[in-house]
Amino acid sequence: MSIVKSIQSSLSYLAFRYTQRNILLGGLGVIAVLSWIAVFAGAKSDESRIYFFDVGQGDAVFMEMPDGRQILIDGGPDAEVLEKLNKVMPFWDREIDIMIATHADADHLAGLVPALAHYEFRTIIWNGIAAATKIFKEWKEAADSEGAEIITGRCCMRFTLSDNAFFEILWPNDSPPYEGGVLRPQSEGGGSQNNYSLVIRFVDGNESFLFTGDIERQVEYAIVQQNFNLQSDILKIPHHGSKTSSSELFLDAVRPKTAIISAGRNNSYGHPHPAILQRLKNYAIDVRRTDLEGDIIYASK
């Protein structure tokens, strides 16, 4: 949300409250709040900040650019993402530029429903694949009524954020098998939502990040065969560290310095799988885990 728009909104609200009360305390409140707004407005940074939120067994990543633009990638399994956003966004900021829903599984999508209720989004990017679930229906209705530009993400879309920052969609690269707008079951030649997750490479100056949703090994192979530049400093490990992902071929192509695993503490799926942790160790990749550390924050200069 732009600083000017935020300040105007805050001034309008405070003027209303002051008119209603018309007391000294209200005036002091106006001064105090405007002081905080001035602090936030003047606090510019030359770095991007990337938050890998600890939302339990799910994914939620929040990115803030030096110019104030913001991106939310997935929302986790519930409304906890709101608490996380409230801690890193100023109270008067109720607009997020881009929402990216990698796919319709509840552990990525459910938290985006309350996010749509509490924040205004300018652009929504999703994989275009409906799911026959209650949470997907709620999300789709909220997204359609948001008034945002809605984009079906496909390879090889590229979105420029600044002179030295952009993100590109690497997957899916074709239209999946549908039946009535919903992905057909795998037994009928369709597949799970996992393998149609949006895969996004974000580049900020000399640093790069790869966000992989819940893709599995066969999609990793397909992406490598596309001969893109996959090298990324930070890899968000696919599918919470499931043994179905993070193949050696994929790790060879990405060559990450750090791997982020987003998983719930003592989750019933056994994520991350010991075989994946050992593989990452064999590659001398630094591993960071939300189930052990909580929120993980990076500053990208």
Q: How far apart are CA 110 and CA 281, in angstroms?
A: 32
pLDDT of 187 over the 70 cut: no
Note the pLDDT of residue 34: 44
- Could you identify the residue written with the tokens 């405007």? 34
Classified by CATH at the fold level, domain 45-300 comes out as Metallo-beta-lactamase; Chain A (3.60.15)
Contact 123, 98 (CB under 8 A): yes
What is the average pLDDT across 68-72? Answer: 96
pLDDT of 15 over the 90 cut: no
Question: 81, exposed or middle or buried, with CB in 10 Å at 0-12, 13-18, 19+?
Answer: buried
Q: How far apart are CA 177 and CA 179, in angstroms?
A: 7
Q: How far apart are CA 12 and CA 179, in angstroms?
A: 49
Contact 183, 276 (CB under 8 A): no
User: Confidence class of residue 16 from pLDDT cuts 50, 70 and 90?
Assistant: very low
Domain parsing of the chain, residue ranges = 1-43, 45-300
Higher pLDDT, 41 or 235: 235
Note the pLDDT of residue 76: 98
Question: What's the sign of the alpha-carbon dihedral 37, 43, 45, 51?
Answer: negative
